[in-house]
Amino acid sequence: GQNIDQPTEMTATEGAIVQINCTYQTSGFNGLFWYQQHAGEAPTFLSYNVLDGLEEKGRFSSFLSRSKGYSYLLLKELQMKDSASYLCAVKDSWGKLQFGAGTQVVVTP
């Protein structure tokens, strides 16, 4: 079956760094996506990894290790507006996105 695990909640202070881990076991692998979702809103695309390694995009970076079934999203220089749920999603063999339950990041002053 499909299994995508990420922590339920993480708390960090403004200006700090937070790393959100995601492990997965899916029917096939065609890429891993990270989305940000604010309460009551739809997800917005943050990053995409299909090959092993680190992808950097401004304050956000995402890492993938396919052999370990593992990814992380790194948020640097945290801002209050980064308080949101972060969703890890894997594209399976059929091209469908399988989502994790999301990690709620709480940024405190």
Using CB under 8 A, pick the residue from 20, 22, 24, 33 that binds another protein.
33
Judged by CB, which is closer to another protein: 17, or 45? 45
In the bound complex, what is the minimum distance in angstroms from residue 108's beta carbon to another protein? 20
Piece of the chain touching another protein by CB under 8 A; list 17-25, 66-74, 76-84, 95-103 = 95-103
- Contacting another protein (CB under 8 A), which of 16, 17, 101, 106? 101
CB of 47 to another protein, least distance (A): 9
Q: Using H for helix, E for strand and C for coil, what is the string for 16-66?
A: CCEEEEEEEECCCCCCEEEEEECCCCCCEEEEEECCCEEEEECCEEEEEEC
Please give the Cα distance from 41 to 68 (Å, whole number).
32
Burial class (CB in 10 A: 0-12, 13-18, 19+), 57: exposed
Under rule CB under 8 A, residue 86 binds another protein? no
Is 20 among the residues that bind another protein (CB under 8 A)? Answer: no
22 contacts another protein (rule: CB under 8 A): no
| 53 is an interface residue for another protein by CB under 8 A | no
Q: Is 40 left (phi over 0), alpha (psi -120 to 50) or beta?
A: left
